[in-house]
């Protein structure tokens, strides 16, 4: 089907057009039309139908740029985005509603001042996307920008040029082009965009370019979200279900030909079960590719020759032993799903982000050693995976951080579009997806309103200061600590009075439920046995 669909040839926007484009979308934000909820909802609905109607072109473009199978293109890109639109439309009114504040957030007499938090769009934002999921990773944050009421410029990756052009067409043909624009191009265009002033920059890509973006943004104190990469570890202990671990990790490494920021870069496995795991891996490979990976219509290809050479260099440079796969075909940018048994943490397979269908297997003597190695290789990866007992998995979560984590599977924590997703440390700043996408592009603006009639109540704040009045105010408003100087809770009269009054419940809700239970029991007793 893909080869019957016409897709446009790549055309860069050109550096000279960028300043006027940025100025135009900034001007639109100043008209305030994007702040209207109905306008945002209309744009979101238009985006949904644009994705639906452009599905043939998007499938053709993803096939052309990445040899991406329709199945993967739908589940990880097009259908994913359509779900994003529907999710946001379902929740937008609730998210955008201002929060009224009162007790217990506000002590008296502040609750008289009508405190509330308005959800306001940050303004005009720049969204820069990567090549591996060139549609979803550009437009998913865009759904957040629309929902928050921002205007936006999108910069797709030039590494997937056909996708970039189809996205440009569907946005410009179907959405409000006074508010949204797509700029196509590479370093020159992106650099020109970074020279413009934005109210937020959302960047997805490598740490190297993320650093360029962050430095540029810092010059004008522009907030950024960085969705970067990581050297993601998978832990396998002797208590793991090895067949399951093998199949699931192979899934994580073959989707999009391993060009997924979340896939495992290396496996730290108990040395006693490494041989059995490798056998299960080979079996899972046979089941997934009964006619071999190269013949499979499901396996994507490496995006371009530069990335192919980079991954090949890792295989050429390893001192490990290939235990699965290992075939390459430069003419097709094909790399077979490959596992390399390594014996040194310094092996290139352990040190570099493969961002391809290759990963290392590193046998360890203990979980202690595995955690030490993983924290040395990359202390803040984007993801981690743990296949072990409940206690072992909890220990991994407790002793190693990551952007997100999945227990007993590959990146399932990031395979649903409605939960927060982001990195930690140098694998990323900020998060999006679901409500986090709305929050990402929203400013929480606290507003209060002081009524004239309250003047006498709050006159204590004026000079000349009167300490007696301040002491009187504190007697009514200041909370007393229930702990001593050594940090211990003091169980004085107040503590026990609260225990009795709340019937041991935590907080007002707990106390109310307990009192209701007592009253119900009393009622039933009286009914059953009389007074």
Ligand X SMILES: CC1=C(/C=C/C(C)=C/C=C/C(C)=C/C=C/C=C(C)/C=C/C=C(C)/C=C/C=C(\C)C=O)C(C)(C)CCC1
Ligand Y SMILES: NC(=O)c1ccc[n+]([C@@H]2O[C@H](COP(=O)([O-])OP(=O)(O)OC[C@H]3O[C@@H](n4cnc5c(N)ncnc54)[C@H](O)[C@@H]3O)[C@@H](O)[C@H]2O)c1
Tell me whether residue 420 or residue 423 sits nearer to ligand Y (CB atom).
Answer: 423
* DSSP line for 285-327: HHHH-TT-TTT-TT----SSHHHHHHHHHHHHH--SEEEE---
- 261 part of the interface to ligand X, by CB under 6 A: yes
Tell me whether residue 192 or residue 261 sits nearer to ligand X (CB atom).
Answer: 261
Residue 75 contact among ligand X, ligand Y, none, beta carbon within 5 to 8 Å by kind: ligand X
Is 227 an annotated catalytic residue?
A: yes
Residue 428 falls in which region: left (phi positive, over 0), alpha (psi -120 to 50) or beta: left
Distance, in Å, from the CA atom of 464 to the CA atom of 470, rounded to the nearest integer, reads 12
- 65 part of the interface to ligand Y, by CB under 6 A: no
Residue 129 contact among ligand X, ligand Y, none, beta carbon within 5 to 8 Å by kind: ligand Y
CB of 405 to ligand Y, least distance (A): 14
Q: How far is CA 24 from the centre of its chain?
A: 29
What DSSP state is assigned to residue 486? Answer: T
CB of 132 to ligand X, least distance (A): 5
Exposure of 115 by Cβ count < 10 A (0-12 exposed, 13-18 middle, 19+ buried)? middle
Write out the binding residues for ligand Y, residues 204-263 only, by CB under 6 A.
Answer: 204-206, 209, 212, 227-229, 261
Site string for ligand Y, 386-425 (x = CB under 6 A): -------------------------------------x--
Q: How many residues bind ligand Y (CB under 6 A)?
A: 28
**Closest C-alpha among 432, 502, 516 to residue 225:** 432
Active-site hit among 85, 150, 261, 440: 261
- 415 part of the interface to ligand X, by CB under 6 A: yes
CB of 57 to ligand X, least distance (A): 20
Tell me whether residue 190 or residue 254 sits nearer to ligand Y (CB atom).
Answer: 190
Residue 264 contact among ligand Y, ligand X, none, beta carbon within 5 to 8 Å by kind: none
Q: How many residues bind ligand X (CB under 6 A)?
A: 10
Asked if 66 and 301 count as a contact pair (C-beta separation under 8 A), the reply is yes
Options 250, 260, 374, 405; binder of ligand X; rule CB under 6 A:
260
Is 163 an annotated catalytic residue?
A: no
Write out the binding residues for ligand Y, residues 353-382 only, by CB under 6 A.
Answer: 353, 355, 382
Write out the E strands in 113-221: 116-121, 124-128, 151-155, 180-182, 200-204
Tell me whether residue 80 or residue 203 sits nearer to ligand X (CB atom).
Answer: 80
Distance, in Å, from the CA atom of 294 to the CA atom of 431, rounded to the nearest integer, reads 36
Asked if 415 and 436 count as a contact pair (C-beta separation under 8 A), the reply is no
Distance, in Å, from the CA atom of 332 to the CA atom of 129, rounded to the nearest integer, reads 25
Write out the binding residues for ligand Y, residues 171-210 only, by CB under 6 A.
Answer: 186-187, 190-191, 204-206, 209
Angstrom distances, CA of residue 246 to CA of 26, 109, 273, 427, 471? 50, 62, 12, 25, 68
CB of 382 to ligand Y, least distance (A): 6
Asked if 103 and 428 count as a contact pair (C-beta separation under 8 A), the reply is no
Angle at 489 between CA 484 and CA 494, to 5 degrees: 100
Site string for ligand Y, 119-148 (x = CB under 6 A): ---------xxxxx----x-----------
Residues of the shown chain interacting with ligand Y in the complex, contacts defined by CB under 6 A:
128-132, 137, 155, 157-159, 186-187, 190-191, 204-206, 209, 212, 227-229, 261, 353, 355, 382, 423, 428
Q: Which residues are catalytic?
A: 227, 261
């Amino acid at each position: 089907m893909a080869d019957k669909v016409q897709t446009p040839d790549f055309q860069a926007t050109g550096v000279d057009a960028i300043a006027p484009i940025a100025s135009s979308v900034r001007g639109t934000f100043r008209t305030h039309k994007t702040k209207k909820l109905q306008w945002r909802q209309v744009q979101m609905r238009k985006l949904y139908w644009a994705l639906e109607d452009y599905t043939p072109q998007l499938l053709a473009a993803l096939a052309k740029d990445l040899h991406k199978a329709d199945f993967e293109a739908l589940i990880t890109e097009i259908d994913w985005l359509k779900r994003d639109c529907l999710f946001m439309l379902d929740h937008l009114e609730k998210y955008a509603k201002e929060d009224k504040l009162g007790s217990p957030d506000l002590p008296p007499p502040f609750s008289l001042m009508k405190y509330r938090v308005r959800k306001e769009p940050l303004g005009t934002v720049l969204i820069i996307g990567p090549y591996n999921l060139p549609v979803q990773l550009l437009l998913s944050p865009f759904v957040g920008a629309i929902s928050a009421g921002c205007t936006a410029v999108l910069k797709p990756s030039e590494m997937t040029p056909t996708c970039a052009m189809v996205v440009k067409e569907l946005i410009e043909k179907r959405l409000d082009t006074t508010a949204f624009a797509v700029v196509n191009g590479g370093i020159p265009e992106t650099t020109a965009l970074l020279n413009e002033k934005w109210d937020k920059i959302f960047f997805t890509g490598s740490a190297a370019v993320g650093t360029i973006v962050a430095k540029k943004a810092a010059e004008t104190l522009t907030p950024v979200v960085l969705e970067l990469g990581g050297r993601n570890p998978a832990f396998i202990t002797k208590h793991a279900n090895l067949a399951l671990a093998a199949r699931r990790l192979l899934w994580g490494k073959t989707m999009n030909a391993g060009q997924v920021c979340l896939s495992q870069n290396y496996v730290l496995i108990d040395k006693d079960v490494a041989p059995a795991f490798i056998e299960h891996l080979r079996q899972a490979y046979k089941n997934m590719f009964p006619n071999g990976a190269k013949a499979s219509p499901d396996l994507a290809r490496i995006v371009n020759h530069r990335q192919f050479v980079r991954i090949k260099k890792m295989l050429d440079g390893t001192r490990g032993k290939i235990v699965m796969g290992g075939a390459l075909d430069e003419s097709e940018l094909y790399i077979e799903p490959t596992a390399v048994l390594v014996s040194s943490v310094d092996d290139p397979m352990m040190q570099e982000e493969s961002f391809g269908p290759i990963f290392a297997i590193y046998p360890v003597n203990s979980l202690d050693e595995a955690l030490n190695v993983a924290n040395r290789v990359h202390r803040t990866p984007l993801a981690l995976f743990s296949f072990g007992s409940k206690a072992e998995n909890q220990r991994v979560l407790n002793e190693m951080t990551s952007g997100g984590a999945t227990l007993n599977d590959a990146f399932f924590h990031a395979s649903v579009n409605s939960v927060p997703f982001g990195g930690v440390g140098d694998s990323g700043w900020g998060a999006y997806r679901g409500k986090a996408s709305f929050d990402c592009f929203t400013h929480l603006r606290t507003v209060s309103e002081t009524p004239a009639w309250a003047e006498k109540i709050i006159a204590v704040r004026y000079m000349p200061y009167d300490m007696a009045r301040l002491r009187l105010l504190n007697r009514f408003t200041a909370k007393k600590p229930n702990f001593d100087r050594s940090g211990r809770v003091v169980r004085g009269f107040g503590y026990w009075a609260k225990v009795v009054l709340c019937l041991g419940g935590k907080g007002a809700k707990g106390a109310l439920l307990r009192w209701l239970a007592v009253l119900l029991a009393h009622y039933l007793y009286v009914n059953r046995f009389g007074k």
